[in-house]
A = this chain, B = another copy of it.
């Protein structure tokens, strides 16, 4: 008998038929004799609807009240899922985040999990029940309802799996798993069977939308093995777990494309110590997350600085740049440019040479012009013209032989 935590996202519980489908899936697992804890999100669209409703009343709603409001979405789905399980004869009971003992700090709308007690979930499981837990929400140490921010339900599931010492945590979603590339861009992309946490993290931060980085970080920190799989079919998904020696044999695990970046360039900046620090501290203080950075020295010993930010951060970055130029006493801000980031990720890079050569060779052969380069121990990324992004991804994918055999 295994203890399995299953997480179903908003699409998987989006309407009555889908909730029934989830109930059948839970039943199938339970019929095999497993104990099941289910973490569910709000129906897709509900959280945004609630946010819109609040913002129509107040553009800057109080965060404590927003959490009280948003917690409603998951509370609806836990009750409906329990009710659907009862309809097919499965004993089940719902638990809010508070009841499930998901204890957080008091950073409303983006709370961090401090502990998970599990409440009475073990007793309910031993009593033969399936327990349905509200994802995305917790209770602060001040006994206030909190929410965990984007991707919070995945985090709830992984934290619950850790707390209950579950044998497996299954993240059900609308894709079959993590792919070697986005199949809409690279038609022969394959589902990856096994990934290390580090690779999953690099893929997440490189534009693969499957999971938020912090859920993966939590899993890595507490060594929670999880599987990303589809709630619409029965195919095995992608297992994400700690690195094993044989996983390094593959040089590149996947190729990610992020078309959501904008490049800022500030030319002719007086090149004195602390210029970069001034710029990036100001951006950080302004709430802008900077991704790629390049600095070089141009004519007359003046520095040219380029960096990329995600599109959502552009208005904030614009505001910061105006101030920064005043502070620096110089610099010509160039027109912004949309860029795409194409990355190759794989822990094999750490121990094998030649990966960069093959990567840049593939791009050169495909005639892709590289604007910026960044690397980490297990990733190479280039910023390129968005019009060339798909071609670049296809070329890299083929060069590393990632396609279907």
Whether the pair B71, A83 counts as a contact (CB closer than 8 A) is no
Whether the pair B75, A53 counts as a contact (CB closer than 8 A) is no
A86 within 8 A of B: yes
Which residues of A does B touch, CB under 8 Å?
16, 19-20, 50, 53-54, 56-58, 61-62, 64-66, 68-69, 71-72, 75-76, 78-80, 82-84, 86-87, 93-94, 96
Q: Considering residues A16, A68, A75, A96, which has the most beta carbons from chain B within 10 angstroms of its beta carbon?
A: A68
Shortest Cβ distance from residue A135 to the other chain B in the assembled complex, whole angstroms: 15
Chain B residues with CB under 8 Å of A68's CB are 75, 78-79, 82, 94, 96
Whether the pair B69, A79 counts as a contact (CB closer than 8 A) is yes
Q: Indicate which residue in B19, B56, B69 contacts A76 across the interface (CB closer than 8 Å).
A: B69
Chain B residue at minimum C-beta to C-beta distance from A143: B99
The 7 tightest CB contacts between A and B, nearest first, are A69-B79, A58-B87, A57-B84, A68-B79, A61-B83, A65-B79, A65-B82
Shortest Cβ distance from residue A110 to the other chain B in the assembled complex, whole angstroms: 17
Chain B residues with CB under 8 Å of A16's CB are 53, 56-57
CA distance in complex: A80, B49 (Å): 12
Whether the pair B69, A72 counts as a contact (CB closer than 8 A) is no
CA distance in complex: A68, B78 (Å): 9
| A20-B57, A57-B16, A58-B87 known; A79-B66 Cβ under 8 A | yes
| A20-B57, A57-B20, A65-B94 known; A75-B80 Cβ under 8 A | no
Q: Indicate which residue in B58, B71, B94, B96 contacts A84 across the interface (CB closer than 8 Å).
A: B58
Chain B residue at minimum C-beta to C-beta distance from A70: B79
| A53-B16, A72-B72 known; A58-B79 Cβ under 8 A | no
